[in-house]
């Protein structure tokens, strides 16, 4: 079998994956800052790295998957103050919403989901190590900063040189810093901030900077050197660049072997983000589209490519997923395990081992569906269902999906009982040879997004159009 190859952002190339410990994978993914609902860009991160961990487990690796939660941060503080509530109340609420959204999308919980506020001692310890090694200093404003120019390898992940980086672009200017490129490790507490957002330290009361949070949590939970670190493309610089600098300066070794970054979700060729105000929350999208359809929309694009969001693209994904489920309908499938020797499974495996190439893997599913449609083979139907399950798809009873997954323009309020009643009226009309009435009922249902499928023996099935 082909070996797994991963595109390593640090190397700018696909590399054969060799775990640090044989048979074991330690993976850290930057999670959410919980002050608002997750948007579709977050959904992509959730689904992409859910697929990664699923495939690693399918290959037989023992996986430790860590995805953190940032539960203290400037945006969180501002939102809590605006709402007149505690930080804990705000973050607990949006963590709950995040879990609900992820579950709807079929995303498994990570093995460990640390909250930043639970790792303050580890963060303070790392900052202390950096200061003693000459990489950190306390500025006149009380903040403790990382001295970027002291770290020789800064810029390797993002491909940016220090001379090209200018203060005011992605690094905030601060007169108290020794260099505008330096970034904060420990923020000195301000008098007007809530008491719960400050912790004691030898540099005074304050809170951690965002970058040190991930370095400290990853090191504490996975060790100073682990296999995979992932996140969205927007985190490559400065967040992940700063993580490398902190972690390597503190330990004296490179922290991660493979860096993975998923592409942006775009609207009108512009990145979707809260800061740009052009985002859709996962909840807004799931109110209009079936959750498995949204997952399929994400899965059928390669994780590193841009993903253009629109109702039309989601509806196209729904129609495509409908084709796969239609192939599985009316076939009795046994519970035998997936046969990886089957030619379709071999091609699927080769695709997934090629940097998690889900578009090609999905194409294999359609090849299988076409074969099932031709032959009605229960064996090939089982292969289709089980390969789909590797991607977190095709786990529902086919009729349930076909009758629940409506398009964006489907008429609301037409429930299954009403549909069945109209089908019964149509059958009675046909029995009475009132074909005009039967055709009118069929057309009315079609206008409501319901497609009727007449079968042998006088039976009629239906699905959402």
Mean pLDDT of 439-457: 79
Using one digit for the tens of pLDDT, what is the confidence trace for 217-240?
A: 999 999 999 999 999 999 999 999
Whether the per-residue pLDDT at 171 is higher than 50: the answer is no
Mean pLDDT of 57-80: 96
* Gap between the Cα atoms of 461 and 423, Å rounded: 9
Check residue 167 and give its pLDDT: 44
Taking the model in full, what pTM does it have? 0.90
Check residue 2 and give its pLDDT: 72
* Binding residue ranges for ATP: 274
Whether the per-residue pLDDT at 94 is higher than 90: the answer is yes
* Binding residue ranges: 30, 214, 239, 243, 274
Mean pLDDT of 342-357: 98
Of 423 and 102, which is predicted with more confidence? Answer: 102
Q: How confident is the model at residue 452 (pLDDT cuts 50, 70, 90)?
A: confident
Check residue 396 and give its pLDDT: 94
Check residue 407 and give its pLDDT: 59
Pairing of strands 5-8, 226-232: unpaired
Using one digit for the tens of pLDDT, what is the confidence trace for 182-223?
A: 999 999 998 888 888 899 999 999 999 999 999 999 999 999
Residue 92: how many CA atoms within 13 Å on its side-chain side? 5
Whether the per-residue pLDDT at 287 is higher than 60: the answer is yes
Q: What is the DSSP letter of 456?
A: G
- Phi, psi angles (nearest 5°) of residue 138: -95, 125
Whether the per-residue pLDDT at 169 is higher than 60: the answer is no
Whether the per-residue pLDDT at 430 is higher than 70: the answer is yes
* Binding residue ranges for Zn(2+): 30, 214, 239, 243
Q: How confident is the model at residue 460 (pLDDT cuts 50, 70, 90)?
A: confident
Q: How confident is the model at residue 174 (pLDDT cuts 50, 70, 90)?
A: low
Using one digit for the tens of pLDDT, what is the confidence trace for 109-124?
A: 999 999 999 999 999 9
């Amino acid at each position: 079998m082909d070996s797994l190859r991963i595109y390593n952002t640090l190397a700018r190339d696909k590399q054969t994956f060799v775990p640090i410990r044989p048979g074991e994978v330690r993976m850290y993914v930057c999670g959410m800052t919980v002050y608002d609902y997750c948007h579709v860009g977050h959904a992509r991160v959730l689904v992409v790295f859910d697929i990664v961990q699923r495939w690693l487990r399918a290959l037989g690796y023992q996986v430790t998957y860590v995805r953190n939660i940032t539960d203290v941060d400037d945006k969180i503080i501002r939102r809590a103050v605006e709402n007149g509530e505690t930080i804990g109340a705000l973050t607990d609420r949006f963590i709950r919403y995040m879990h609900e959204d992820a579950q709807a999308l079929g995303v498994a919980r990570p093995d460990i989901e640390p909250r930043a506020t639970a790792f303050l001692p580890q963060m303070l310890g790392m900052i202390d190590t950096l200061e003693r090694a000459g990489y950190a200093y306390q500025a006149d404003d009380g903040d403790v900063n990382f001295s970027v120019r002291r770290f020789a390898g800064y810029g390797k992940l993002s491909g940016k040189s220090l001379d090209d980086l200018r203060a005011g672009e992605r690094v905030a200017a601060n007169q108290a810093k020794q260099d505008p490129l330096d970034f904060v490790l420990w923020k000195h507490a301000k008098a007007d901030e809530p008491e719960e957002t400050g912790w004691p330290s030898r540099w005074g009361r304050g809170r951690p900077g965002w970058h040190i949070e991930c370095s400290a949590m990853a090191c504490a939970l996975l060790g100073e050197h682990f296999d995979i670190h992932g996140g969205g493309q927007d985190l490559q610089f400065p967040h992940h660049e700063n993580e490398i600098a902190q972690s390597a300066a503190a330990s004296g070794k490179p922290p991660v072997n493979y860096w993975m970054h998923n592409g942006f979700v775009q609207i009108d060729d512009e990145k979707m983000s809260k800061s740009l105000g052009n985002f859709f929350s996962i909840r807004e999208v799931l109110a209009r589209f079936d959750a498995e359809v949204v997952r399929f929309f994400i899965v059928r694009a390669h994780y590193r490519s841009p993903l253009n969001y629109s109702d039309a693209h989601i509806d196209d994904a729904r129609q495509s997923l409908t084709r796969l489920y239609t192939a599985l309908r009316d076939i009795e499938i046994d519970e035998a395990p997936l046969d990886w020797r089957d030619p379709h499974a071999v091609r699927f495996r080769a695709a997934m081992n090629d940097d998690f190439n889900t578009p090609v893997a999905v194409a294999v599913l359609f090849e299988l569906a076409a074969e099932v449609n031709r032959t009605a083979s229960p064996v090939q139907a089982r292969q289709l269902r089980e390969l789909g399950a590797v991607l977190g798809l095709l786990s529902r009873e086919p009729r349930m999906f076909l009758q629940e997954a409506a398009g964006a323009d489907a008429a609301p309020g037409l429930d299954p009982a009403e549909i069945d009643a109209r089908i019964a009226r149509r059958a009675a009309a046909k029995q009475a040879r009132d074909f005009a009435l039967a055709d009118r009922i069929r057309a009315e249902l079609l206008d409501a997004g319901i497609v009727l499928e007449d079968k042998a023996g006088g039976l009629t099935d239906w699905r959402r159009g």
